[in-house]
Structure 1
Amino acid sequence: MRIAIIGGGISGLVSAYRLSKDHKITIYEKSAEIGGLLSSYHRKAYSIERYYHHFFSGDRAFLHLLDELNLSDTILWLKGSTGTYQNGTIYPLTTPLEILLYPHLSIFEKFRLALFTKKVKHFDLSHLDTISAEKFLTEQLGEKIYRSFFRPLLNSKFGQNAEKISAAWLVSRVAIRSDRSLGGERLGYLERGFSSFIESLSNTITGYGGEIRINTPVTSIQKAGGEWYINDEPFDAVIATIAPGLLKKTGLDIPDIPYQGAACLTMGLVRPVTQGIYWINLYDDAPYGAVIGHTCFAPRAWYGEDIVYLASYYTGTPPTDLKERMIEDFQRKFSVRSDEILWAEMTRDPYAGPLYLAGYKEQMNMISVPGLVLAGMFSEENYPERSIEGSVRAGLRAAEEIVRMEKNPEVT
């Protein structure tokens, strides 16, 4: 079969990887590099992801795929520390002692928080989908715990939409991050980054004769005479992994779903500035919601400098001077001189991920186009939280659907 795959992100690459041995694959990727949100900057001495990433010990599909690609020996299990920036001070919140010493909650409030994290895996996510995280947490824990402890997390991930996010997302987020010891969260990373994973997928696809067309956006999708036409080129089947809003622009009649944009600033610094903490959510006002000290997580020796991300999420159009505003604010808050910043690059994506607003699941289940296989961040595999694992599983499911279609053409 001639199969077109729209989008060269994780789901698109994984489905192509599964199908390329027995089918003629063509991947359409609008950007200059494949990998989607997992693509990298390629510096002179190293590669570093454009957006911060890690994975979890329970990511079975991803870990199995790494094993298939002979990359299992590059897995590192590292400790992820967390903290918050409030009133000009960084508060570490990784260990029980650090949480106990956190001055913005009383002992009673900390006890309530501990009980909540113990029972979080037992909540019914289907019920919580229609409730905002703000309402749910305020009822469960009180206004002060919500504002002081959880609101910075929601701000860091959803910016101006923080108050509208579903409780299902929040509970899932807390539950998945419970793989921790007294010293911090156990997170996975690949030796020297994820570029080896993307390269291995790409080499396998092209090795079987698949074609990857970068800088090639899809402008039209039509079905005629039993064939699909992508940019007027005929195919037997199509897998679309890009956002439904982008698919609508090609002429498809497809329900839309809310997405948000991301602007991620990556910097090389001469010294560490996050006090050894990997992830800091900001409580104070800033043009970004989180500071991610990558080299407080991955070994600094790989890079020869300290790597920091500033993460900002938005809807609509971000300010044209956002990069400058982020750097200026970061320098002021973290006491960084201009000559201590070795380089700074910003990547923006207006369709960086779904907005898990209250009621999201019902909208997600409406996304379909007869005869077209859909997979991506909007898929069920990425509900109620998008991840590398979810995108891998979405790509594998899409490939399985194509195989079923080939065996039973009448089902299309």
Structure 2
Amino acid sequence: MKIGIIGGGLTGLIAAHALVQEHEVDLYEKLPYLGGCLSSYNMEKYWIERYYHHCFSGDTALFSLLGELNLSGKLEWVNGTTGYFARNTIYPLNTPVQILKYPELSITDKARLAWLTLTAKKADLKALDQVPADQYIIENLGWNIYTSFFEPLLKSKFGDRRKEVSAAWLMSRIAIRSNRGAAGERLGYLNGGFHQIVAALESSIEAKGGKVLKQTPASALSHTENSWTINGARYDAVISTIPPQELAHMGGPALPQIPYQGAACMTLAMDREVTKGIYWLNMKDSAPYGAVVSHTNFIPLERYGEHIVYLASYFSGIVPPQLDERMMADFCNRFGVKTQEIHWHRMAVDPWAGPVYTTGYGSLIPAYEQSGLYMAGMFSKTNYPERSMEGSIRAGLDIAACIKKRNSHE
């Protein structure tokens, strides 16, 4: 079979990698680089992801892929510390003593929060799909726990759309991130950067005869009785990994709208760290970013020679005007950083960074096959109710299995 794949993010690369051994594969990517949200900057002396990344202990599909790509030896486990910026103060929230000292929550609040963490893995996510996260927390744990702990988390991930997010996403998030000890949360990272996965997949696809067409957007899609065409080229099957509504604009099927949001992530480097050793700092105080992610409080500074920080913001529609200037000005003012201390900064903007897991999202997830077209990506069931590298890899494997099943039946 001749297969066309639209989108060179992780799901598209995995699908191509799984199919290219037995089929003729063309992969279309509009950008000059692959990986989507897993793409990286090449800073000459090192690579660094455009958007902060880590993996979790339950990411079995990812671990299998690393073994296949001879990258397992690069995987390392590190304690990722967390904290909150509230009332112009940094509060670490890792050890029991630190949590007890956090002034935004009472002792009763902290006990309720501990109970929620212990019970999260048993939550009925299907039932919670219809329940707003804020309503669930306020009704079960109280207003103060919501405003002092969960609202900053929701804001850091969903920005102005945080009130639309379901309790299914929130409880899944708590469950997946419960691998925590006294020193912090146990998280995985690939020594040298996750760009190695993207590079290895590209090399493997091309070595087996597949075509990786970077800077080649799929602009037109059409369907005949037994085949599809992308930009006029004929294919026996087409896999799309881009948002369904974007595919519809070029000739794909009209499906229920998947709620998406954009991400604006500023990466900057400087000589010192400013978050008191904390990796992930949620902003409770109002700021033009929801979290400060200090990468070199997670991965050793020596690998980079400079401290690397991400400022993470999400938006709906178009990126807010002058967001990069406002983010930089706020960061420098809030953390006492002079602009001349910053060695470099980059701003990555993706208007389709990922779905917003609104109430009722479960009913919007499209089937893998739609009118003879195959679709998988961040919007797929493997990425619900929490998107991840693991979910994107599983989506790519699932969609490849659908193609193989179809081929065997034919």
TM range (shorter): over 0.9
Q: Is the 8 A contact 2:49 2:193 kept in 1?
A: yes
Q: Which residue of 2 aligns with 1:226?
A: 226
Structure 1 segment 21-60 matched on structure 2, within 5 A: 21-60=21-60
Which residue of structure 2 aligns with residue 382 of structure 1? Answer: 383
In the alignment, does 2:100 pair up with 1:100?
Answer: yes
Q: Does 1:169 align with 2:161?
A: no
Deviation at 1:368, TM superposition (A): 5.4
Counterpart amino acid of 1:65?
L
User: Which residue of structure 1 lines up, in the alignment, with residue 13 of structure 2?
Assistant: 13
Q: Aligned partners of 1:50, 1:167: CA distance in 2, in Å?
A: 29
What is the number of residues matched between the two proteins?
409
Question: Matches of 2:61 and 2:253 in 1, distance apart?
Answer: 32
Aligned residue number for residue 271 of structure 2: 270
Q: Give the match's secondary structure for 1:348.
A: strand
Residue 225 of structure 1, CA deviation: 3.5
Cα pair 2:83 2:94 within 8 Å, conserved: yes
Alignment correspondent of 2:334: 333
Alpha-carbon displacement from aligned partner over 1:35-58 (angstroms, at most 9, x marks no partner) = 010000011201100000000010
Paired AA for residue 4 in structure 1: G
Name the counterpart of 1:288. 289
- Counterparts of 2:253 and 2:307 in 1: how far apart (Å)? 47
CA distance in 1 between partners of 2:115 and 2:6 (Å): 45
**CA displacement 1:306-340 (0-9 Å, x = unmatched):** 00000000001122311111000000111111111
Q: Indicate the RMSD between aligned Cα atoms, in angstroms.
A: 1.0
Consecutive aligned runs of 4 or more in structure 1 exceeding 6 Å deviation: none
The answer to whether the 8 Å contact 2:368/2:376 transfers is no
Question: 1:181-202 deviations in whole A, cap 9, x for unaligned?
Answer: 1111000000011111111111
Unaligned 5+ residue runs, structure 1? none
Mapped partners of 2:263, 2:242: distance in 1: 15
Rounded to whole Å, the distance in 2 between the matches of 1:92 and 1:161 is: 27
Secondary structure of 1:217's aligned partner: coil
CA contact (8 A) 1:254 1:368 kept: no
248-257 or 78-87, which moves further after superposition? 248-257
Question: Are the aligned partners of 2:253 and 2:371 in contact in 1 as well (CA < 8 Å)?
Answer: no
Identity over aligned pairs, percent = 50
Q: TM-score, normalised by structure 1?
A: 0.98
| Aligned mates of 2:345, 2:245 — CA distance in 1 | 30
Note if contact 2:367-2:375 (Cα within 8 Å) is conserved in structure 1. Answer: no
1:367, distance to aligned residue in structure 2 (A): 7.8
Q: Give the aligned residue type for 2:52.
A: Y
Give the TM-score of the pair, scaled to structure 2.
Answer: 0.98
Name the residue aligned to 2:261.
Answer: 260
Structure 2 runs not aligned, ≥5 long: none
Quick one: structure 1 residues 367 and 283, their matched pair in 2 at CA, closer, same or farther if it must change by over 3 Å? farther
* Cα deviations by residue, 1:237-281 (Å, 9 ceiling, x for unpaired): 111111112101112222121100000000011111111000011
SS for the counterpart of 1:32 is coil
Structure 1: distance between partners of 2:134 and 2:196: 39
What amino acid is aligned across from residue 310 of structure 1 in structure 2? L
1:248 aligns with: 248
Q: Is the 8 A contact 1:265 1:323 kept in 2?
A: yes
Tell me, yes or no, if the aligned pair for 2:368 and 2:374 is still in contact at 8 Å: no
